[in-house]
């Protein structure tokens, strides 16, 4: 038995893991980590995002960028997403994923529905934010990414 001396009167007990509604949200990257894929054949950059402002302030979103994968299409999509992040925060050259942290941008969020699974949020793209408020996407599309690794440091 443990002596807790716990007061639940000021604790938010709502356990809302429902997805946020589809839309554009100002977010920041709060954490990033390179992880192995389930099959061990590749790696992805996991971005932890936090919504800034509005009704859903503080809610978390995640984005997995399959930057090191045998599937060329998965790598191309991931590079495009990372390129959008870089353009959105104005950081064109990134050596380490920590350089993406705590810089406001707009995430385009949709709800993914799969049979047999609960609906989940999915980040479909990124665009710049102006003073923490969502802005219009840039007029010109981002340059096409190559198959080169986006930065040289890779964590296991």
pLDDT-derived band of residue 133, with 50, 70 and 90 as boundaries?
Answer: very low
Break the chain into its structural domains and give their ranges. Answer: 18-134
Mean of pLDDT over the chain: 85
Fold held by 18-134? OB fold (Dihydrolipoamide Acetyltransferase, E2P) (2.40.50)
CA distances from 109 to 15, 19, 59, 118 (A): 21, 10, 13, 16
43 beta partners: 36, 68
Cα diameter, the chain: 63
- What would the pLDDT profile of 92-115 be if each residue is shown by its tens digit? 999 999 999 999 999 999 999 999
pLDDT-derived band of residue 130, with 50, 70 and 90 as boundaries?
Answer: low
> DSSP string of 13-75?
-----SPPPSEEEEEEEEEEEEEE-TTSS-EEEEEEEEE-SSTTTT-EEEEEEEEE-S-HHHH
pLDDT of residue 17: 80
Percent of the chain with pLDDT over 90: 70
């Amino acid at each position: 038995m443990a002596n807790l001396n716990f007061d639940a009167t000021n604790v938010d007990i709502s356990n809302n893991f429902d997805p946020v509604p589809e839309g554009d949200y100002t977010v920041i990257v709060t954490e990033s980590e390179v992880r192995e894929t389930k099959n061990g054949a590749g790696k992805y950059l996991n971005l932890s995002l936090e919504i800034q402002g509005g009704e859903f302030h503080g809610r978390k979103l995640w984005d997995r960028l399959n930057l090191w994968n045998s599937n060329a299409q998965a790598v191309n999509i991931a590079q495009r997403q990372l390129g959008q992040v870089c353009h959105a925060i104005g950081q064109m050259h990134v050596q380490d994923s920590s350089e993406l942290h705590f810089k406001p941008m707009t995430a385009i969020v949709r709800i993914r529905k799969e049979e047999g699974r609960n609906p989940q949020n999915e980040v479909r793209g990124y665009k710049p934010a102006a003073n923490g408020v969502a802005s219009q996407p840039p007029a010109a599309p981002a340059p096409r990414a190559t198959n080169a690794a986006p930065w040289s440091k890779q964590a296991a």
